[in-house]
Amino acid sequence: MSSGSLALTLSNGAGAAKEARVAVRTWERRDAARVGMKWGGAVAALGVVMIPIPLIHFFSPIVLLIAPLAGFLIFRLYNGGVDMQGQGACPSCENPLELSGNADRWPVQMICPSCKRSVTVAPT
């Protein structure tokens, strides 16, 4: 997982804009594969645990077949993903705005918790 920082522009669509800098972590292929294998292994373990349980054991082969697919889907979800963490100021009301979460696609639309106005977050 590579870390860095990113300069962002927060705008409210009415001409006001603020600058912010956030810490970003990018999910690399190896880290995404590790999370995917963890989830695939967990689903496979569930399939194995189901084997001795009456009636439920009929679904065990299906769960065991789905395990690699679940791992691959989790890998695809995480691979190349960007997590950001930081703070900025709302361009409308100047109150602090928490900038966190997943940012795979720019611009990110947020709602200011203080003034309930829409804030567009984009890299500078």
Contact pick of 87, 100, 102, 114 for Zn ion (by CB under 5 A): 114
- Whole-number Cα distances in Å, 75 to 65, 70, 78: 17, 9, 5
* Least spacing, CB of residue 83 vs Zn ion, in Å: 23
- Whole-number Cα distances in Å, 18 to 10, 30, 52, 86, 93: 5, 35, 60, 14, 11
Cα(122)–Cα(103) distance, integer angstroms: 10
120 token code pair: 């567009």
* Least spacing, CB of residue 93 vs Zn ion, in Å: 3
Q: Is 10 in the site for Zn ion (CB under 5 A)?
A: no
Binding mask 70-109 for Zn ion (x = CB under 5 A): --------------------x-xx----------------
What is the contact surface with Zn ion in residues (CB under 5 A)?
A: 90, 92-93, 112, 114-115
